[in-house]
Amino acid sequence: MPSRLRNQWAQGQPTFNFFLTIPNAWTAEVMARTGFDAITLDMQHGLMDFSTALQQLQAISTTDAVPLVRLQWNEPSIIMKMLDAGAAGLICPMIETAEDTAAFVRACHYPPAGIRSYGPIRASRLSEGNYFQEANREVLAFAMIETAAAADNLEAIAAVPGLSGLFVGPYDLSVSMGLKRVADIHDPALRAVLERVLAACEKHGLTAGFYSGNVAHLAEVSEMGFRLISTGDDTKLLERGAKDLLDELKTIPS
């Protein structure tokens, strides 16, 4: 399934990815059926635990959307558990060094490329072929660039073998860099990091990802060359829809 995303990226096309925060299989299925290329379970800031995430992965699997997970942390048992549960790719937060990246990549891959333990209890049942033979090639592994330290070590991070891409989290990144305007892609300092991310991805054959709640910013970074275009979340979407409906109701004459 990740090959569909890779094919789009190879053709220079952006893929659209939606982040989920609500711990519910039904809302996951509804969002996956809207036509987004990928759906990401946000286990870092979302409200789901593993049991709920499994049900959401099952719901997403009834659609054509590629299921991704943003991990809680760069911890091997969490990484392996989510891959065994059927995540097609992982986004790892708070990566800061090449060593962090190598540890993340090793946990995503079976030996000899990594240290992943063999036991893909659900993932193997989603594969049409030999999961063990295909997993190292197919699993997507994105390292988040969201701290000043990560920006300083950007080139070394991108050079780690087995990485699929760099994923910019502009909110934490701008805060970590001490910028006055949070997640403003027009800030010269943040813009310079974005350009370096693209250059590093180009050099090492990686895909550049970006998250924002600002559609104009997403359009701009897509034009720059970012390809995993991510937005959301479902909580804000539900809240905004409810408020818009209430505003309409309030126009009814009393």
Using pLDDT thresholds of 50, 70 and 90, give the confidence band for residue 85: very high
pLDDT of 199: 98
Using pLDDT thresholds of 50, 70 and 90, give the confidence band for residue 1: low
Residues 162 and 136: their CA atoms lie apart, in Å, by: 8
- To the query of whether residue 45 is one of the catalytic residues in this protein, the response is yes
pLDDT tens digits, 167-177: 999 999 999 99
Classify residue 96: in a domain, yes or no. yes
- The residue from 45, 109, 186, 217 that is catalytic is 45
Domain ranges, residue 236 = 2-249
Using pLDDT thresholds of 50, 70 and 90, give the confidence band for residue 128: confident
pLDDT tens digits, 177-226: 999 999 999 999 999 999 999 999 999 999 999 999 999 999 999 999 99
Using pLDDT thresholds of 50, 70 and 90, give the confidence band for residue 130: confident
Q: How many CA atoms lie within 13 A of 147 on its CB side?
A: 12
Classify residue 254: in a domain, yes or no. no
Our count of domains for the chain comes to: 1
Q: Which of 241, 232, 239 is nearest to 40 (CA)?
A: 232
Burial tier of 166 (Cβ tally within 10 Å: 0-12, 13-18, 19+): buried
Classify residue 26: in a domain, yes or no. yes
> Residue 199 sits in a domain of what CATH number?
3.20.20.60
